[in-house]
Homo-oligomer: A and B are copies of this chain.
Amino acid sequence: MKSDKISDAVVRRLPVYLRFLNELSHREVLTVSSQELGQKLDLNPAQIRKDLAYFGDFGRKGIGYDVSYLIEKIRQILNLDQQINVALVGAGNLGQALSNYNTYVKDNMRIIAIFDDSPDKVGQKVKDITIQPIDELEKTVRDKHIKIGIITVPDVEAQRVADQLVAAGIEAILNFAPTILKVPSGVRIHAADFTTDLISLAYYLQGGKE
């Protein structure tokens, strides 16, 4: 089966597969079955086969999936066969932590610009990237072909920053601010606000309702 509309739930599992496949590759495992994948990733094997089958026939009956081949294919699907430039807006604690992180470099994703408006931040360096004022955002995003924006500014500034990113032609946003952002339908947005997650965990505590 080739692509209909692929649901977001499917797309979000692809990086999970990729990560584990990379680990297998590192351990020089050549082949893996949906069964084994399911066990490790806590997913139903049928679901994994179905997810992958949306994009092509990557497996071999009776054998399973060739690890390197599947890595290559998933990387293509996720556009990770080309470099993807990312901008980060908001160089506070969290923003700086994310920049330093940059594990995703091996996945061809790279934060190549950082913006912040506070005067004591502008001009400072975070790991060889100089923090720029936000009014340079639009030009830099265009000039450097930045496709994804990460928002780590405070709550109240998030929508304004999102608008600027959109105006600059960004295609996707990862939003760490605890606000629902309104963006045009062409722009993809994912909420990454962990406080929501953390607070929802409280529901499950004993002494509360089960």
A-side residues, CB < 8 A to B, are 3, 8, 11-12, 14-16, 18-19, 40-42, 77-80, 82, 84, 86, 92-94, 96-98, 100-101, 103-104, 107, 109, 147-148, 150, 171-174, 176, 178, 180, 182, 188, 190, 192, 194-209
Contact = CB atoms under 8 A, between A and B. Distances in A.
Given A79-B208, A174-B198, 20 more contacts: A11-B200, A11-B203, A14-B199, A14-B203, A16-B180, A40-B180, A42-B182, A77-B208, A78-B208, A80-B199, A80-B202, A84-B202, A86-B198, A94-B97, A94-B101, A147-B205, A172-B204, A172-B205, A176-B194, A190-B197
B94 A199 contact: no
Closest 9 CB pairs of A and B: A93-B97, A97-B97, A15-B199, A79-B208, A188-B204, A172-B201, A94-B97, A15-B196, A79-B202
Contacts of A77: 203, 208-209
Contact of A192 (B178, B194, B203, B208): B194
B84 A196 contact: no
Contacts of A180: 16, 40-42
A148 B180 CA distance: 26
Contacts of A15: 195-196, 199-200
A20 to B, nearest CB: 8
Contacts of A100: 93
A210 to B, nearest CB: 8
29 contacts: A8-B200, A11-B203, A11-B204, A14-B199, A15-B200, A19-B196, A42-B182, A77-B208, A77-B209, A78-B208, A79-B203, A79-B205, A79-B208, A80-B199, A80-B202, A84-B205, A92-B97, A94-B94, A103-B195, A104-B195, A150-B198, A171-B206, A172-B201, A172-B204, A172-B205, A174-B194, A176-B194, A190-B200, A190-B201
